[in-house]
Amino acid sequence: MADVLPLVEARLRTTLGEPDARAAVTFVGTDRVEVLRFQDRDQDGEILRYATLGMSAQPMADPTAVLADPVKGPRAELVISVRAGLADTDKVLRPLAILAASPQVEGVIVAPGASLDVGEPLWPGAPFTSVLVAEPGGLVEDLELDEPLDPVRFLPLLPMTPNEAAWKRVHGAQALQERWLTNGTDLRDPARRSVPLD
């Protein structure tokens, strides 16, 4: 069976360029998770993208299954994008690694529309403790693997304020994303306020 992680890193490098920093986090009883940082620019300035590397080494198992299938099952890595220079966002690497390890630790399947909460600010002073898992494919295309392996999906994470997370639980992910869109919310702003929710 081909080692998945070199293929995943190659896809990240092809799409996002060379990482300018990387760090590794290991939790007891889990595989090592690395977080790679990439720099990019858009019309409004510099963007930092943090991507996990390690979550896709094993498929995510159905928490109700008696035995985890070592081959079949969804695979994913996480990507979060923030504007540079507005906050100490490099501290996001530990919360990001915690989220990437959650399928192994908690037996959850991370999928679009889900809310993930780390219970502490994503970086010092951040108004966010949770993220919304968005649809993959926009930034980094899915990585097809040889049968019978499922493709690796690169899931964007959108930081949510506590009010937004509570509102999303009632109204759903789609409604929150529409609210962000209607209000022109800059989801990459690491210090943004909550979108109006009344």
Number of helices and strands in the chain (H, E): 4, 7
124 token code pair: 């010092």
3-state SS class at 65: coil
Report pLDDT for 31.
82
**Phi, psi for residue 101 in degrees, rounded to 5:** -85, -10
pLDDT digits (tens, 9 = 90+) for 85-104: 989 999 999 999 999 999 98
* pLDDT at residue number 25: 86
Q: Does pLDDT of 64 surpass 80?
A: no
Instruction: Indicate if the pLDDT at residue 115 is higher than 50.
Output: yes
Q: Tell me: pLDDT of 14 over 70.
A: yes
Bridge partners, 79 (sequence order): 51, 156
Interior/surface letters 90-107, b for 16+ CB within 10 angstroms, e for the rest: eebbbbbbbbbbbbbeee
- Would you say how long the chain is, in residues? 198
Tens of pLDDT, residue by residue over 127-175, are: 999 999 999 988 999 999 998 889 999 999 999 999 999 999 999 999 9
The mean pLDDT of the chain is 91
| 182 C-beta neighbours (distance < 10 Å), count | 10
- List of residues 6+ apart from 176 with CB closer than 8 A: 132, 160, 164, 167, 168, 195
Q: Is the pTM of this model over 0.85?
A: yes
Token pair of 122, please?
Answer: 């994503």
Instruction: Name the band, by pLDDT with cuts 50, 70 and 90, for residue 197.
Output: confident
Lateral strand order in the sheet of 75-83: 21-25, 33-42, 45-53, 75-83, 152-160, 130-133, 115-117
Percent of the chain with pLDDT over 90: 74
Positive or negative CA dihedral for 61, 79, 98, 34?
Answer: positive
> Please, are residues 30 and 165 in contact by the beta-carbon 8 Å criterion?
no
Res 1 pLDDT > 50: no
**pLDDT band (50, 70, 90) for residue 2:** low
